[in-house]
């Protein structure tokens, strides 16, 4: 079983819509969670950390559900520039330096 | 400020040749990471450095792969006797290395390696 699993999508949404997707992780003792975004043929960039109580950064809201071992990302008022692949990232059980990356969820926002 | 830089940006090599990939991390970042990403795939962890030490080499695919870091700064990833399955984008990242911030990794643009 992969450490981090994501629905690859794609999620095709119109501009202005809300889109949400989850990822699940296998190690119940994981402590650190992140969302990264990766544009086509570019390097990943940190979007936001995910905190236990949930957190918001502008139009982006991240939630953590430890009981069910999933993380969610919600994008409100989608912009064309939000089109990207969103990577769910969890720290390794044994090593805080080592991150496990999901394969990504692709979001395409259309005009 | 300057971000993570990698060189070369593209490398085409013949099967069996050795290649060396270079990474310059963000100044002051103590932790440095190497990943590779095959087309349409997720990131595969290869190795990380804490300072000049590599506590975890478990991700290196075979003994043809090695990496070093000197002066707590520049790192090189060497692949000996390249094979076609080594073709991928090799990404380097650095982070402050502080507890609680190790997941904040800053990636370079990658080196696209093609083995013919």
In chain B, the DSSP E strands lie at 5-7, 10-13, 19-24, 31-37, 43-50, 53-56, 65-69, 75-79, 88-95, 106-107, 111-115
Q: Which DSSP category does B72 fall into?
A: T
Averaged pLDDT for residues A25-33 = 88
- Cβ distance A6 to A55 under 8 Å? no
Q: Which residues of B touch A44 (CB under 8 A)?
A: 43, 91, 107
pLDDT, tens digit (0-9, with 9 covering 90-100), for B68-103: 999 989 999 999 999 999 999 999 999 987 766 778
Q: How confident is the model at residue A93 (pLDDT cuts 50, 70, 90)?
A: low
Burial B79-96 (b: 16+ CB within 10 A, else e): beebeeebbbbbbbbbbb
For chain A, what percent of residues have pLDDT higher than 70?
A: 95
> Which of B55, B56, B103 lies closest to A89 in CB terms?
B103
Res. A94: pLDDT tops 70: no
Q: How confident is the model at residue A57 (pLDDT cuts 50, 70, 90)?
A: very high
Q: How confident is the model at residue A99 (pLDDT cuts 50, 70, 90)?
A: confident
CB contact under 8 A, B31 and A97: yes
pLDDT, tens digit (0-9, with 9 covering 90-100), for B12-50: 999 999 999 999 999 999 999 999 999 878 899 999 999
């Amino acid at each position: 079983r992969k450490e981090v699993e994501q629905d690859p999508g794609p999620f095709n949404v119109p501009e202005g819509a809300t889109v949400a997707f989850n990822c699940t992780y296998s190690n119940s003792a994981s402590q650190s969670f992140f969302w990264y975004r990766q544009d086509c043929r570019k390097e990943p960039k940190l979007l936001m950390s995910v905190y236990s109580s949930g957190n918001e950064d502008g139009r982006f809201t991240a939630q953590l559900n430890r009981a069910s071992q999933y993380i969610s990302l919600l994008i409100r008022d989608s912009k064309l520039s939000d089109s990207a692949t969103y990577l769910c990232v969890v720290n390794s059980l044994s090593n805080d330096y080592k991150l496990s990356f999901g394969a990504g969820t692709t979001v395409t926002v259309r005009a | 400020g300057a971000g993570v830089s990698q060189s070369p940006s593209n490398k085409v090599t013949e099967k069996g040749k050795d290649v060396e990939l270079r990474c310059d991390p963000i100044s002051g970042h103590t932790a440095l990471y190497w990943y590779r990403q095959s087309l349409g795939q997720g990131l595969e962890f290869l190795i990380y450095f804490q300072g000049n030490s590599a506590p975890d080499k478990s991700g290196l695919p075979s003994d043809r792969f090695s990496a070093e870091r000197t002066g707590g700064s520049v790192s090189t990833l060497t692949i000996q006797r390249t094979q076609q399955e080594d073709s991928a984008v090799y990404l380097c990242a650095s982070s402050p290395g502080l507890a609680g911030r190790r997941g904040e990794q800053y990636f370079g643009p990658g080196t696209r390696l093609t083995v013919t």
